[in-house]
Structure 1
Amino acid sequence: MTTPHDADPIALVLPGGSDALTVRPLTPGDAASVAALMATCEQHDVGEVLIEEADIVGDWQRPAFDLASQSVGVLDGERLVAYAEVYKARWADGAVDPAYRGRGIGAALSRWTRAVGARDGGTLVGQPVPGDSAGERLFAALGYRSLWTSWVLEMPAGESIVPQPTPAGYAIREPRDRADLEAAWTVNEDAFLEWSERERTTFDEWAATVVNRPGYEPWQLRLMADPAGEVVGMAFVIVSGGCAYVDKLAVHRDERGRGLARALLVDAFEVGRAHGGDRSELSTDSRTGALGLYEKVGMRVTSLWRHWAADVVAAPATTEAAGAAHAGDA
């Protein structure tokens, strides 16, 4: 697989009539603009804002990601109106300002992401988009296929989960040292790789979006320790805009069935509330089979997303699909 830092750039070719727009790779200084663009799209498509700038910064500082060769921005003057990025030749993110949809920009970005995936040695590139949105209609028109469904669930302010006592000898605590962090990473990766079709994330890649995420404090990472002091479960909670979002939740396979995941979830919500998160959220997808568990504890689905993917294309971005984009361009 091509390493991003020595990859040849892929040109983004916009459709005809886009002469007023400019194209360039993104830089670290664009994080706030990307967050604002995504927030505008989320508010328009799902009625709430889920993204924050720290999410962008954390993703961009992963060692395996290179902004210069794996990102592109579309600007109208100084204003960022669309962007796309591709991580590890497989995982794309992209958005088009609602005011600029229907012009073929989304189709051009799609072609660009697939070309980047091909250049970097991948076979499939895709991203999640809200259900019944312009992005979903665009991907369907371009021949993408839906691989799985995700849901964002909420525990409204003032409501809480019935407490789940931990078994005798088990305890929830903050990380104390590097060994604790590596243990949390191992539990997290082992659990998610049971159903996720991806390569194992390195510790440094994981840490970029957890302990090295802007604003991180030790109370955010919750560890479940067994009677011997070994870390057998973990949760990571982010508080933003009055919401405590449980970004990660995992328990070692051999320790399941003891109520540890629910205990970690209750703890994450409570510590999040103590730090200003009056309501709580998390997301899950159809590969985990966990939707019913969260609904049983009182959480409610607030939005539905689907992951759409397509085969990579070993060619520069073109406008051949621009016509289909006008049916619902993202």
Structure 2
Amino acid sequence: MHPIDNLPAGLTTRALTLDDAPAVLSVIAAEEVVDLGEPEMTLEDVVADWRRPSYDITASTVGVFDGDRLVAYGDLSDADVAYTAVLPSYQGRGIGTALARWLQATARAAGSTRIGTQVPQGSAAERLMRDLGYEERWTAWDLELPPDREISARPLPEGFTIRDDAEADRESAWKLIEDCFLEWSERERMSMADFGAKVWGRPGFEPWNLRLLTTADGDVVGATHVFLAGDGGYVARIAVRPDHRGRGLAPAMLVDAFRLAREHGAVRCYLSTDTRAGARGLYEKVGMEVASTWVNLAVTL
């Protein structure tokens, strides 16, 4: 682990381990309560990300401690994707700046030419990143379907079916979702092993969490990854093969995903999108509303 400089006196650092995931979640949740009014991240999110086969938690993370208490952390999650959080009571002491510098040095040593992070619009983290020279790449939103609202969607065209995944379908689902996301996302293709860690390897995964849209011939032409996050049903991924778009399939897939989430206890249903995908209008058209706005900021190394 690279050394981290310019921390306040009395604080110590070390690389994190999987056992630190609950403490990391507590720090993230404390920030989210201030910035968003409630926490969004779950323990399953942290664990699934850290369990990716390609991920080296020792080389990619640093925890900042006051005694035995974790008060901040940094995580180079991917080549140019960083996450940080600092307990609100410890902000304004230079910890965030020190973590940003550490993440830049770690990314540079790994061969990256830029590093970015996504933070709530108007947050202390956004102000800090802009002060450090980070520039906006895109805007993102969490959109929520109010509890008393249903999505109206026409029935699936004849011959189409939405069903739970089976193990034999997983390579097809991975290829489909990655192909669709890489139409607009500037990143390397996620390996099937890493994708699986975040989907069917996610703690608590059940077959209904990955729903597949198939034709009468059995071809997989759409997929939805949905799971429970606290009291919410979250659609993490939704994709339709290009040659089957424009037929009302995506709204029908959302209806299916949110129905299942509610049947499994979700009080609210939500998803995330950003300006690169160009899908916000679709989600608002079916009755979803913006719940929070985020900005993705990056700096060249």
Q: TM-score, normalised by structure 1?
A: 0.90
SS at match of 1:33: helix
Give the counterpart letter for 1:263 in structure 2.
A
Query: Distance in 2 between the 1:14 and 1:30 partners?
Result: 23
The one of 227, 239, 246 aligned to 1:238:
227
**Structure 1 residue 241, shift from structure 2 partner:** 2.1
Cα-to-partner distance string for 1:112-163 (whole Å, 9 max, x where unaligned): 1111111111111111000011000001100010100000011111211013
Tell me the secondary structure at the aligned position of residue 229 of structure 1. coil
* Consecutive unaligned residues in structure 1, runs of 5 or more: 1-8, 313-330
Distance (whole Å) between structure 2 residues aligned to residue 73 and residue 97 of structure 1 = 12
Q: Secondary structure at the match of 2:177?
A: helix
Deviating more after overlay: 83-92 vs 66-75: 83-92
Inter-partner Cα distance in structure 1 for 2:22 and 2:6: 24
Count residues with an aligned counterpart: 301
Please state whether the residue corresponding to 1:247 is helix, strand or coil.
strand
Matches within 5 A, 1:32-71: 32-71=22-61
For the Cα contact (< 8 Å) 1:185–1:203, is it kept in 2?
yes
**Map 1:255-294 → 2, pairs under 5 A:** 255-294=244-283
1:240 shift after superposition:
2.6
Q: Which runs of 5+ in 2 are unaligned?
A: none
CA contact (8 A) 1:89 1:116 kept: no
Structure 1 runs of 4+ with >6 Å offset: none
**Counterpart of 2:78?**
88
Deviation of residue 285 (structure 1)?
A: 0.2
- Residue 116 of structure 1 aligns to a residue whose secondary structure is helix
Aligned to 1:323: none
Mapped to 1, the partners of 2:3 and 2:98 lie a distance apart of 10
- The aligned residue for residue 142 of structure 2 is 152
1:200 match: 189
| SS of 1:303 mapped into structure 2 | strand
Distance between the aligned counterparts of 2:102 and 2:227, measured in 1?
32
Give the TM-score taking structure 2 as reference length: 0.98
Q: Which residue of 2 aligns with 1:108?
A: 98
Matched residue of 2:118: which SS?
Answer: strand
CA distance in structure 2 between the aligned counterparts of 1:109 and 1:71, rounded to whole angstroms = 10
**More relative contact order, 1 or 2 (CA 8 Å, 6+ apart):** 1
What is the SS of the residue equivalent to 2:63? Answer: strand
C-alpha deviations, 1:213-249, integer Å up to 9, x for none?
0000001111000121011100011113221111111
Any conservation in 2 of the 1:164–1:266 contact (CA below 8 Å)? no
Shift of 1:88: 3.0
Q: CA deviation at 1:36?
A: 1.1
Question: Is 1:141 aligned with 2:136?
Answer: no
> 2-side partners of 1:164 and 1:301: how far apart?
24
SS of 1:195's equivalent?
coil
Q: State whether residues 138 and 295 of structure 2, in contact with CA within 8 Å, keep that contact through their aligned partners in structure 1.
A: yes
Percentage of identical aligned residues:
48
Q: What is the letter of the counterpart of residue 274 of structure 2? A: D
Structure 2: distance between partners of 1:21 and 1:238: 37
- Structure 1: how far apart are the matches of 2:80 and 2:153? 39
Q: Deviations over 1:275-295 (max 9, x none)?
A: 001210001000011111111
Q: Is the 8 A contact 1:64 1:205 kept in 2?
A: yes
- CA RMSD after TM alignment: 0.9
Matched residues in 2 for 1:296 and 1:140: separation?
33
For residues 240 and 63 of structure 1, what CA distance do their matches in structure 2 show?
Answer: 23
Could you tell me how far apart the structure 2 residues matched to 1:234 and 1:292 are? Answer: 20
